[in-house]
Each structure stands twice: as structure tokens, then as C-alpha cells.
Structure 1
Amino acid sequence: MSWKEKDRIILIGDSITEKGRFEDPDQLGDGYVRLIHDYLVTQHPTLRLDIVNKGIGGNRVTDLAERWEQDALQESPDWISISIGINDVWRQLDRPDMEQVYPDMFETVYEDIISQTIQHTKAHLILMEPTIIEEDPASKGNQLLQPYVATIHRLAEQYNALVIPTHQAFLTFLNANTDIPLTTDGVHMNSRGDMLMASTWLEQLYSS
């Protein structure tokens, strides 16, 4: 992996990605995107990398598809990092009355946005595993996430994309039984959760 001068890096996803970007003059927020930004610009000061946060709270993969043209393709990315899947599962638990995005639809829609990206850009693809639903590896939410995580790995292999093992990183931490929380509510990150996401992203990128 190597960056080029003025590379444009889009990080797109749901509220975990958004995390305060609309209140931030820099439009980066105060979550994992900010940590990745600060690391990259300080480690590569001469490259003038352009890191852009395109997270929107509540998004599922179907919401990404609706805004993909505007928020991804029209941004002319050199790299695009996708973090999606939590709400696709969480809505099955907290909003069972609404139309759901089950694994088959998730894969179909996700593959379509990947295909569009390959067709219309030369961007490197980074697919982040969804993180966790409740800080218990055995929770129903985390069990339901498994086919979504598997889909991301399948698509990454098919389209030569890089996978960021964020779900596995969180499970590994939780299985250490530290009693140190990573989220504020079982889903949204506190500062430690953001750091785990950012460090996993950076470590995987620099080792690829």
C-alpha cells in the first residue's frame, strides 16, 4: 500500500462514521474518521491527503445505494472505505415492523455499489466489517451480524478489495473480559471504540 500526493480518501457509512461531522467545521467529526485523518496527515505531511467523512446516521446499505452517485462517485475518490451493516441488523431487533434488509438483499445491494464504483472510478476499495451490537460476543445482534460479515469477505475476495476486520477486533477485545466499555450504548463508540476502529483500519492498510 502506498499513498500518492493529493489522494482523496472517502469514508462512508452510518452514524458510527458520521459521529459529529455536521457539527464540526472540518466536517470530520470526532470519531474514528478524525483519528485516521490526524494520523495520516501527520505521518505524511507532504502528500496533502484529502480525507472526507460521508457518514450519515441511521443508514443501511440501501440508503448508501440511494446516495452513492452523489456522495461517492461524484466525489472522485482515489480510495473509498465503506462501513455499513450495523443498522441492517439492528433494525431487525428494534424496528421489526419496518421493511428489513436481510443478508441476500444486503449482498445484492452492496455488490451493486461496488460494481458502480469499479465502473465509474479507479478507487481502491476498503470494506470494513460491521462492529458490534451489544458488548457481548454471544448477543443476538452479534449472531445476526455473522452472515453480513461473511458477505463482506466474499465480496472483497471477488472484487479484490481490502477487508478491515473491525468485527473481529471488537470480539477479540470483548473476549479478553477487561470490563472496559468500547461503546456508549452497545453500538455507538466511545473514544476507546473509535481508537480500536481507527487502529484496526490503519494496521490492516499498512500491512497490505
Structure 2
Amino acid sequence: MNGKVRRLALMTAIGALVLSNTSFAADAIHKNTDGAVVSTQGIIVKSGEKFAFLGASISEFGWSHPTGYIQLTIKTLTDNGVKIVPIPAGVSGNSSRDMLARLDRDVIGKKPDWVTIDAGGNDVWHGDVPFDEYMTNMTAIVDKSQAAGIRVVIQTCTPIMEDLNGPFNTKMAYFNQFLRYLAGQKHCVLADLNGGAVAILKAKTGTDNVLTTDGVHMNERGDRVMATGLLEALGLTDAQIAKTIAR
């Protein structure tokens, strides 16, 4: 079996296991039918908790820019009475391989309560991390984090070049499907940021970028979309998010 056929067979199997989010329960935190953690009754992050943001340039800029998605996430939580202790861990150019290599130093060693993982964009865009290795790297990042007592939020990757039918996003679909599967298998919180971006790009008319400055890195609207998706995954309502972020 060649690599392409093996990849397609694997993703078909994963796709059969990843079900739609249809299960709801009365407790504040529960698992949906995928196994990923979701919230129906409130914010699942508490004041004083340390929150690491692991990623590449999008996360680095999301921290360093005043309107970046990490800054918006922190401000929105604060505006709703939840003051987290942020740990920026985004490094431009990083792949999942790089993030795994520095996980102990930049995340685990700082003893956060939570970590968000935004990895895969450079694996696809730069093309130097094959899909099989990506799955191994991401599984190891989650396993090591959970073994250290850190709660994990997995973010799906936002589109590349804003062309949903282009080769980057065709390949990215496999990576994001695996992330949804991994979140379910490991009972992580899933922030499906790709889904929010795709919904906007499907309605796009013309060729100008609407979410990014260069096809990859977020403009202010893109940062708002990312922050909104992450905050929704953490249990905030539309009204709570709207205190800070204009749609």
C-alpha cells in the first residue's frame, strides 16, 4: 500500500469514528459523542488558572498584537470575571515537530492548568512534516501534557491562502479531521476554529483576503473569529463574548 492510499484508508477510518456533536447532558462539563469535552452550563476556566498558548506565528502574533486572538481571549474572559494567568508559547515558523521538542521547556515546566495547541499550519504549508509524523507528534503533545495534569484544548487549523479548494486546504482537511478525532479519543476540549473561518470564506466574493493579511496570518477580523471560536469552546455564550468582541 503506497503512502497516498494508506493515508486515505486511515482518514476514512478516522472519519467513520468522528461523529457529529449531538449529545447533551445536565452537568457543566461533559463529553459529546466524539468524546471531546464541551460545556453547556458556563465557563470552564477559573480565575487564577495558568493558561499556556502553544503554537507558531499565528499564536505568537495573537499574543504580541493588542488585537491578537490571544489578547482578545484574555480580555473577554476578564470582562466576564475570569482573570487567567497567560503563558505565551507561540514561536514563528514552528511545526508540530518543533512544538513537541520544546514542550517541556515552554509549557510543562511552567506548570499551567491549561494548554491550547495550535499546530499543523506550518506542517502543511511548509510541507516538511508528513501526516504520519504529525499524528505521532500531536498525540505525544497531548499525552505528555495530560500526564503532567494539564487540561488540553485542541484548536483546528485555520485555512491557508483563503482558497478552500486549493491544495493546501485539501491537505489540511486530513490534518483537521485527525485533530477532531484526537480530541475525542483523549477527551480534550475542541475549539474548531477552522469551521468558523470556513463559514466566512464560503460566503466570500472576490479574491481579496478577508480574514488574513497574507493568506495565512490573521487580520483583525480573523483574530476576532479565532478568539470567538476559542471562547465558545471554553463555555462562553454569545452575549458574554459580545461584551468584548464585535461580530
Select the structure of larger CA radius of gyration.
2
Change (3 A) 1:168 1:8: same
Q: How big is the shift at 1:177?
A: 2.1
Of all paired residues, the percent bearing the same amino acid is: 30
Match of 1:104 among 123, 132, 143: 132
User: Deviations along 1:93-145, whole A, 9 cap, x unmatched?
Assistant: xxxxxxx211110000111111111112x221100001011112111111010
Match of 1:58 among 77, 93, 97: 93
Change (3 A) 1:2 1:205: closer
Is the CA contact 1:8–1:78 (under 8 Å) kept in the aligned structure 2? Answer: yes
User: Comparing 162-171 with 178-187, which one deviates more in the overlay?
Assistant: 178-187
Aligned to 2:79: 42
TM-score (norm 2): 0.73
Contiguous gaps of at least 5 residues in structure 1: 93-99
| Runs of 4+ with deviation above 6 angstroms | none
Write the distance in 2 (CA, Å) between the matches of 1:137 and 1:167.
11
Write the distance in 2 (CA, Å) between the matches of 1:143 and 1:165.
17
Aligned to 1:9: 51
Q: How big is the shift at 1:169?
A: 1.1
Q: How big is the shift at 1:207?
A: 6.0
User: Deviations along 1:74-107, whole A, 9 cap, x unmatched?
Assistant: 1111111011110000002xxxxxxx21111000
Structure 2 SS opposite 1:206: coil
- Equivalent pairs counted in the alignment come to 193
Q: How big is the shift at 1:70?
A: 0.7
Contiguous gaps of at least 5 residues in structure 2: 1-42, 238-247
After superposition, where does 1:1-208 map in structure 2 within 5 Å? Answer: 1-19=43-61, 21=63, 30-44=67-81, 47-92=82-127, 100-120=128-148, 122-178=149-205, 181-206=210-235
Aligned residue identity for 2:216: V
Change (3 A) 1:182 1:48: closer
Is the CA contact 1:19–1:30 (under 8 Å) kept in the aligned structure 2? Answer: no
TM-score (norm 1): 0.87
Q: How big is the shift at 1:66?
A: 0.9
Write the distance in 2 (CA, Å) between the matches of 1:131 and 1:147.
13
RMSD of the alignment, in Å?
1.8
